[in-house]
Amino acid sequence: MNTTTHDDRYVSADHLEAARLRGRIIAICAAMTMGKSTAIREYLRRMGNPPVMFIACRVVQSIDGASAYELAHYQDDEATSARCVSTTVHSLNKFNKWFDEHEHDGI
């Protein structure tokens, strides 16, 4: 596993960009008000708003992710065909089509 830790006070889009160049999975561990959402929105904007799958451990986190990033929530009827979706790790099996369609351009 390719792991990098930053000692900066806030999360930045530059951190995300560097991590994305090293691998396909980015994990962010930071307390509230450390700029996670702002950095993610900025990085996605820089990338031209690609297809996104937000994967959370808990349902409440997937709901928060859907709200924060304007994504379809996996419990909604249209979610399995959505370009941008928020789901839980336990519901990834619902999204085989998403992975087939966005294997090379999805985030």
- Quickly count helices (H) and strands (E) in the chain: 4, 3
Structural domain that includes position 33: 7-49
Calculate the CA 72 to chain-centre distance. Answer: 12
Q: Do 102 and 78 fall within a single domain?
A: yes
Q: Do 14 and 45 fall within a single domain?
A: yes
Does some domain include residue 68?
yes
Q: Do 43 and 64 fall within a single domain?
A: no
What phi, psi does 9 have (nearest 5°)? -65, -35
List per-residue pLDDT tens for the chain, 107 residues long.
567 777 777 888 888 888 888 776 777 888 888 888 899 899 889 989 899 999 999 999 999 999 999 999 999 988 888 999 999 999 998 888 888 888 888 87
Q: Do 99 and 62 fall within a single domain?
A: yes
Q: Do 55 and 97 fall within a single domain?
A: yes
Half-sphere exposure of 30 (CA within 13 A, CB side): 21
Q: Do 44 and 74 fall within a single domain?
A: no
pTM of model > 0.85:
no
Task: Check residue 71 and give its pLDDT.
Answer: 93
Q: Do 76 and 107 fall within a single domain?
A: yes
Does some domain include residue 73?
yes
Helix axes 13-22, 36-46, angle to 10 degrees: 60
| Tally of domains in the chain | 2
Rounded Cα–Cα distance for residues 73 and 42 (Å):
21
Task: Check residue 26 and give its pLDDT.
Answer: 75
* 89 token code pair: 């790790």
Task: Check residue 31 and give its pLDDT.
Answer: 85
Task: Check residue 30 and give its pLDDT.
Answer: 82
